[in-house]
Structure 1
Amino acid sequence: MRLSSEAFAGPTMERRSFVSLGGVWLDEIRRPNQQACKDVVGGSATYATLGARLFAADDPSRLTLVINGGYDFPSAVVESLEKWRVKIRLLINNGKCSTRGILEHNGSAGSKFTRLTPPLLTSPADIASVGALNSQIFHLFAAPELAQAQCLQLAELRRTACPDSAKAVVIWEPHPKSCTQPLLEEHLALLHDSAITVFSPNHHELHSFFDDSPCTTSFDRAVMEARARTFFDSSRHVHNPMRKTDGVQVIVIRAAEHGCLVLQQGREKATWLPAFFGPSEQDKIVDPTGAGNAFLGGLAQGWLETGDWRIAACYGMVAASVIAEHVGSPVHDGAGDMETWAGINVRKRLSSYRGRADVSTLLSEET
């Protein structure tokens, strides 16, 4: 493996804001009666980083995007990503193909994703090799076994490399295929005895933990909230002097057009934020691919700016809306206060969203 892209002499301990241990994919996107789009960059790490980047116009270089690419990773893709002005670290895996897939959109029949090559995973050792161990927030996209290994390795590496750093925030986005009834206990066990701060499945994934039948019934907030609170099960918080963590602190359920649910340890009342595009505005959604990942990147940046998870979720809502309006990543233009993404001033959109009566009322409630 060799390091390429931007010149890099070795690990440094400058304070970074955000890095994802998710993947970077090269997708071929197919739609009926349209020419296929090839080498569209995607993956959980790409979109999570972009979600944070949308709100980081003042200092984008504090974000790190680690790409595990194969010998065939296109230089044109790297050049397009460098326009975001985040720290791009491309790790070339010689003798291996880049992570590729085909995403087929079939209208009302839904979408189908086909993996073409084995994924090239980003490890905590990779994070260390590019000098990003001192990041304030880490994003994981993994099944429980991998997430546990990543948490342990990150903690060990950080104790050695940056022992004086403040405790990092870890956001865990569970892998959809691991969100099943048989694996519920593994998720619960990890959440209650690890350094994970935020756990965020979407509403379909939450349903799958408790019911193996398709989610076809009408959306029920009370059911969603009750199921989400399972991850805060107080019976698991039995005093244990050997226990090194306080367990997960925040549960965020991303529920597409139904908005999102925010639950916090120590706060009895749940917060339900409305979606930026509600049920009657779904015609504005062009491609939801990556919107959930982008939500979590926006959530991370919002937390860094405000220290309030409810307000941070507003950032997530806006980030998801920007991504969902486009195929692939939106085109970036301008800088600072004048920066736009596909013509959208994200800060103005955030201000507009927070100013909505249904949102401002929720945010004015006491914590």
Structure 2
Amino acid sequence: MARNAKSFVTLGMFIIDEFSFMDDEGRPTGRTLEPQIGGGGTYAAIGSRIWLPPTDIGMIVDKGHDFPENIEQKLMNYGKDMWMFRSQPTCGTTRAVNSYRGEVRGFEYLTPRIRITPKDLVGTELERPKALHFICSPTRASAIMSEVEEGWKPTTIYEPIPDRCVPEELPALKKVLPLISILSPNAEEALSLLSMPLPPSKNSIESAADEFLQFSIGEEATGWVIIRSGALGSYVKSRTTKGTWVDAYWRPEDSDKVVDVTGAGNAFLGGFAAGLVISGDVYQATLYATVSASFIIEQEGLPTISSTPNSAEVWNADSPQRRLEELYQRHTGIPH
């Protein structure tokens, strides 16, 4: 076992996001947005960082020859110990364009992807973390799990990639689920995988969770499914527990707080991993996850971190612990 193993490591990629805004007819709207830090792994790492010190978190960041200095500085503001920079001098940094045509969003890579696997962690400070997060197709999830070494039993948090949440991938998903600790699609992805009709409702989400659990998530079917359901909250269940809904932190009357949901699901799972480390309880961890997502959606891009006069960290000028206590009280009626 590596000394001081990280609590949370993500295999998600770092991406520089670029943006294109058009109207419904495909004409430029005139709106512009500077390139931003992106990538599901990055958002997951920040979701975990809201609760854990940077020394407990790890992510590989591939630096191409064009890696912007200002973006590196922004990453360092969250803590230098959480980023393992890996030089890629012969290629550019991974970039993608987020295109908006009216209300329809598109996503396209502009450069080749440099995928990260457990083998990339061997011999580094990220080796054998307690929790491992990955975002990929079910087929690739099997390849990732084949690289998890004997004797290393991480909590595996699997987030299916949206464009592979199709019925054709269901056989591959069934094959890998016994190896996975936590399966967490969003509601639309869950229903799509199972050929269930959209839009999601609480009833259909609960039915989807039951169907996934029949596929034996985790060794001896001890795993959990967490279906992230936007404004409906999140639904948490295992084969041995009653399903539970956790409210979204921001309520419908707080709609002005929801600016951009990009990365919220990724940050949710990073926050979940941190909450699991802190509390040891899946339901409690989902409350931490919900608070992490609440900070992500308040602005375009990542939330800001700063310190108060007593050295406590605040995010977007608010306390994660305060939000956690509020959410806990909302669910139980008693102070946390």
**TM-score (structure 2 length as normaliser):** 0.90
Does 1:176 pair with 2:166? no
Query: Which of residues 173, 178, 193 is equivalent to 1:187?
Result: 173
User: Contact 2:13–2:41 at 8 Å: present in 1 too?
Assistant: yes
The aligned residue for residue 251 of structure 1 is: 225
Within 2, Cα distance between the matches of 1:221 and 1:293? 21
Does 1:25 pair with 2:20? no
Encode CA deviations 1:179-199: one digit per residue, 9 max, x unaligned.
Answer: 11111121112102x2x1000
Within 2, Cα distance between the matches of 1:224 and 1:74? 42
Kindly provide the amino acid, as one letter, of the partner of residue 90 in structure 1.
F
The aligned residue for residue 355 of structure 1 is: 329
Within 1, Cα distance between the matches of 2:334 and 2:172? 33
User: Contact 2:8–2:129 at 8 Å: present in 1 too?
Assistant: yes
Give secondary structure in 2 for the equivalent of 1:333.
strand
Which moves more between the two structures, 140-149 or 285-294?
Answer: 140-149
Kindly provide the amino acid, as one letter, of the partner of residue 93 in structure 1.
Q
Does 1:201 pair with 2:185? yes
Kindly provide the amino acid, as one letter, of the partner of residue 19 in structure 1.
V
Does 1:229 pair with 2:210? yes
**1:72-87 → structure 2 map (5 Å cutoff):** 72-85=66-79, 86-87=81-82
Could you say if the C-alpha distance between residues 341 and 363 of structure 1 is closer, same or farther in structure 2, counting changes exceeding 3 Å? closer
Count of equivalent residues: 327
How far residue 247 of structure 1 moved from its aligned partner, in angstroms, is: 4.2
The aligned residue for residue 346 of structure 1 is: 320
How far residue 174 of structure 1 moved from its aligned partner, in angstroms, is: 0.6
User: Contact 2:121–2:128 at 8 Å: present in 1 too?
Assistant: no
Which moves more between the two structures, 118-127 or 27-36?
Answer: 27-36
User: Contact 1:273–1:362 at 8 Å: present in 2 too?
Assistant: no
Give secondary structure in 1 for the equivalent of 2:159.
strand
How far residue 210 of structure 1 moved from its aligned partner, in angstroms, is: 2.5
RMSD over aligned Cα, in angstroms? 2.4
User: Contact 2:329–2:335 at 8 Å: present in 1 too?
Assistant: no
Query: Which of residues 85, 105, 113 is equivalent to 2:107?
Result: 113
Within 2, Cα distance between the matches of 1:273 and 1:308? 14
The aligned residue for residue 305 of structure 2 is: 332
Kindly provide the amino acid, as one letter, of the partner of residue 222 in structure 1.
N
Could you say if the C-alpha distance between residues 363 and 355 of structure 1 is closer, same or farther in structure 2, counting changes exceeding 3 Å? closer
How far residue 55 of structure 1 moved from its aligned partner, in angstroms, is: 0.9
Could you say if the C-alpha distance between residues 348 and 337 of structure 1 is closer, same or farther in structure 2, counting changes exceeding 3 Å? farther
**TM-score (structure 1 length as normaliser):** 0.83
Kindly provide the amino acid, as one letter, of the partner of residue 221 in structure 1.
K
How far residue 295 of structure 1 moved from its aligned partner, in angstroms, is: 0.1
Query: Which of residues 308, 326, 334 is equivalent to 2:281?
Result: 308
Within 2, Cα distance between the matches of 1:72 and 1:290? 24
Within 2, Cα distance between the matches of 1:342 and 1:103? 24
Give secondary structure in 1 for the equivalent of 2:115.
coil
Give secondary structure in 1 for the equivalent of 2:209.
helix
The aligned residue for residue 140 of structure 2 is: 146
Within 1, Cα distance between the matches of 2:175 and 2:281? 26
How far residue 363 of structure 1 moved from its aligned partner, in angstroms, is: 11
Query: Which of residues 112, 125, 131 is equivalent to 2:119?
Result: 125
Query: Which of residues 60, 65, 69 is equivalent to 2:54?
Result: 60
Kindly provide the amino acid, as one letter, of the partner of residue 181 in structure 1.
P
The aligned residue for residue 63 of structure 2 is: 69
Could you say if the C-alpha distance between residues 189 and 197 of structure 1 is closer, same or farther in structure 2, counting changes exceeding 3 Å? same
Within 2, Cα distance between the matches of 1:224 and 1:274? 14
How far residue 279 of structure 1 moved from its aligned partner, in angstroms, is: 3.3
Query: Which of residues 261, 264, 267 is equivalent to 1:291?
Result: 264
Please, which runs of 5 or more residues in structure 1 have no aligned partner? Answer: 1-10, 238-243
Kindly provide the amino acid, as one letter, of the partner of residue 259 in structure 1.
G
User: Contact 1:198–1:248 at 8 Å: present in 2 too?
Assistant: no
The aligned residue for residue 24 of structure 2 is: none
The aligned residue for residue 211 of structure 1 is: 195
Within 1, Cα distance between the matches of 2:138 and 2:334? 33
Kindly provide the amino acid, as one letter, of the partner of residue 351 in structure 1.
E
Query: Which of residues 45, 49, 53 is equivalent to 2:45?
Result: 49
Within 2, Cα distance between the matches of 1:185 and 1:65? 30
Within 1, Cα distance between the matches of 2:319 and 2:108? 34
Could you say if the C-alpha distance between residues 154 and 69 of structure 1 is closer, same or farther in structure 2, counting changes exceeding 3 Å? farther
How far residue 106 of structure 1 moved from its aligned partner, in angstroms, is: 5.1
User: Contact 1:53–1:60 at 8 Å: present in 2 too?
Assistant: yes
Which moves more between the two structures, 342-351 or 29-38?
Answer: 29-38
User: Contact 1:181–1:210 at 8 Å: present in 2 too?
Assistant: yes
Does 1:272 pair with 2:269? no
Give secondary structure in 1 for the equivalent of 2:219.
coil
Does 1:93 pair with 2:67? no
User: Contact 2:221–2:239 at 8 Å: present in 1 too?
Assistant: no
